[in-house]
Structure 1
Amino acid sequence: MRFAEIHMLRRGDTSMKKVLKPGVTIKGTKDGLLFLFDDSRPFSDILNELKHKLDSGGPIWDGPDTRVWIKLGQRQITQQEEAEMRKLFSLRKNLIITSIEADGMPYLADGNTGIRMLTGTVRSGQVLEHRGDLLLMGDVNPGGCVRTTGSLYVLGALRGLAHAGSEGDETAIIAAAQFRPTQLRIADTISRPPDEWDESDVEMKFAYLVNHQIAVDKIHHFSLIRPDKEWKENRMRRW
């Protein structure tokens, strides 16, 4: 075989090798870590690569609490995919997911607007976001934030920031078993509660929007203020 033929074969072999773009790119910022997911790859591949990176990171993942921002690109994921992703991050206790974003669209593909139940504590620095109504079985600590496009129900202590109707729903409410928020937002209206709460007041309360202001009332007054939510009108949908 002549040299020219060998050279052509070698050149051909090189051109056939493609460097696969990383499915998960991690960038450090002054506020934490940015995880960029390649939206051209199957999400199962992304999860496998993410698991590998989190497993092989060694001591770099064992430092102080670090905020994490996740960018999905032009991709939406299902609730099941989100749960699998969060489970991977939970293996590193210091990594706190602050936000999940898709370019120009909600990050959840199913567009769920029904009520969803989650359990756990939203710690300081964490942001929990949900599309639709959310029932949180747990606490929201000072410095924590929960943001929903629908209503928010906290069966625990609400001591952080709560934002309901985040996309403009002025009928959304915020209810909590222990109502001690640092800030309330419903749609575009913001209310700052008193500096100190009466700790002896243990009644469940809810906040709602009236005349472009946020009002707070006892939960047993809810049916009087919002008769459209009364059980008689909704029982067929619940069963």
Structure 2
Amino acid sequence: MLEENQTITIKGTKDGLTLVIDDRGPFEDVIDELTDKFSEYSPKKDEPVVPVTVKLGNRYINDRQKQQLRELIGNENCFKIEFFDSNVIHRDEALTWKEDSDVKVINRIVRSGQILENVGDLLLIGDVNPGGKVITSGNVFVMGNLLGIAHAGANGDRDAVIAASYMKPSQLRIADYISRAPDYESEGVYMECGFVDEKQDKIVIDRLQVLSHKRKDISGFERRMLNG
């Protein structure tokens, strides 16, 4: 419980320091109270930097206010804000998150010389012909023949996967990993997926069903699709 007129609670954890900021008062009061609290602190010489998590509850703060907190807490102190934890995000951030997490369904054939680009997960109902290419920041699911190039996790997501009804690609890419045609059976494989195996440090091919174990955060929609 916060005492009357107290907007900030400071908690020490094994991972550093947590500042719990009451979301009801004005931001100016938060700054004033933090200034008072940290003015009493005098760091010792060579004291290690302590990571700080700021819990904001239902309070939204903009980039300028975040920078103000970073400077106030880190200025001549041995503290550094590592993370802002808030229940509220800006509308633009919410739209970006929705775009990144949505599964976009496209019904078409990607022919030789064509490139299909997408943000988030892609469900392609159709084929990727030799010479065709699909690129997405999320997962790639091809309900058809994957004979061309598929690039999942294009923004660096190594947990992205590529799945196809019939897998005989000329090239698979996941984040910065590349696997070329010689890695696959000459006749191709049915209902398989490709993903990055960290132990082998390469893209491997396995049955679709393994994804529920290898990628536990896969969505309910994708689980139903993969498992029939």
Alignment TM-score, normalising by the size of structure 1 = 0.48
When you count strand as a share of all residues, which structure comes out higher?
2
